[in-house]
Amino acid sequence: MRLVIARCTVDYEGRLTAHLPEAVRLLMVKADGCVAIHADGGAYKPLNWMTSPNTLAIDGDPDDEDGAGAEAVWTVRNPAGEVLTITLHEVLSDVSHEMGPDPGLQKDGVEAHLQALLAADPTTMGDGLRLVRREYPTDIGPVDLLCRDADGVAVAVEVKRRGEIDGVEQLTRYLDFLNRDPMLRPVRGVFVAQEIKPQARVLAEDRGIGCVVVDYDELRGIRSNELKLF
C-alpha cells in the first residue's frame, strides 16, 4: 500500500463532475489498484475514490499547462470511462508498505449464522439457486457463497448483517476477479443483508448487483418465511 499526504486538488469526470479544492489530504493506493482520497475526518468514507480495475498514470512533467506549479499529476481511469485527476501541489509524506496477505474478515455470530442458513437453502435468495461452495476463494479474499441459478449462471453472494456501501464495494471487487475466470464468467452478484441502506441499494443497482433483504428469525423458522426482494 502507498500512502501519500499532499496538498492537492481533485477532479472527477464520469456520470457527473465533481471538484475538491486545494487542501491537505491522504491519498491511498492499494495493491489491488484502488485509489482513495481521505480528509482528516469523516470516519472511514473517502471523499472520492476509484475502485479496480483501473490504470494510474503519473505525469512526468507536472509543470506543463495542465499541471503548472504542481509536483505531480495523477490520472486514474477505469474501463467505464470515468477519470479521477489528482493534482499534487505539495507532497508532505510519501511512504509504501508491503502488508502481505490478509486473513479476511472474521464475521460475528449472527452474520456467520446467516451465511450458514442461506447456504442450507439458497432458494430464499431466489428461485432455482443452488450452492456451489461457501467461502469461495479469490485473490483478494473469499466470497461468502458461490451459487448457480436455474440457467447455470454463476452467482456470487455477499452476506452482511447490515448492508452498507462498503459491502457493495467489496462484492464489486470479488465480481471483477471472478469474471476473469473463463470457467465461471459471466458472474452476477447478489447483496444480502437484514437491512440495506438506501445509498448501498442505489450503488448496487447501478452496478447490476441484486439486493435481497432477509429476516434472521424467519430464516430460523421462528415465523413463516417471507422475503423482500428489491
Q: Where in the chain is the domain with CATH 3.40.1350.10?
A: 109-229
Q: Residue 219 carries which DSSP code?
A: H
Residue 224: per-residue pLDDT:
46
Instruction: Output the pLDDT for position 188.
Output: 95
156 CB neighbour count, 10 Å cutoff:
25
Give span(s): CATH 2.70.180.20, the chain: 2-96
Pick the CATH number of 2-96 from 2.70.180.20, 3.20.20.240, 3.50.20.10, 2.40.30.10: 2.70.180.20
Q: Which residues contact 21 (CB under 8 A, 6 or more apart)?
A: 9
- The CATH number of 109-229 is 3.40.1350.10
- Give the pLDDT confidence score for residue 226 in this predicted structure: 45
Alpha helix positions (H), the chain: 109-120, 165-178, 198-206, 216-219
Other beta carbons within 10 angstroms of residue 183's beta carbon come to: 5
Q: Are strands 187-196 and 210-213 parallel, antiparallel or unpaired?
A: parallel
Each residue's pLDDT, cut to its tens digit, for the chain (230 residues) gives: 999 999 999 999 988 899 999 999 999 999 888 999 999 876 678 899 998 889 999 985 544 444 456 889 999 999 989 999 999 999 999 999 888 777 665 555 578 888 888 999 999 898 899 999 999 998 888 999 999 999 999 999 999 988 999 999 999 999 999 999 999 989 999 999 999 999 999 999 999 999 999 888 888 776 544 444 44
pLDDT at 107: 54
Give 31: exposed, middle or buried? Use CB within 10 Å, 0-12, 13-18, 19+.
middle
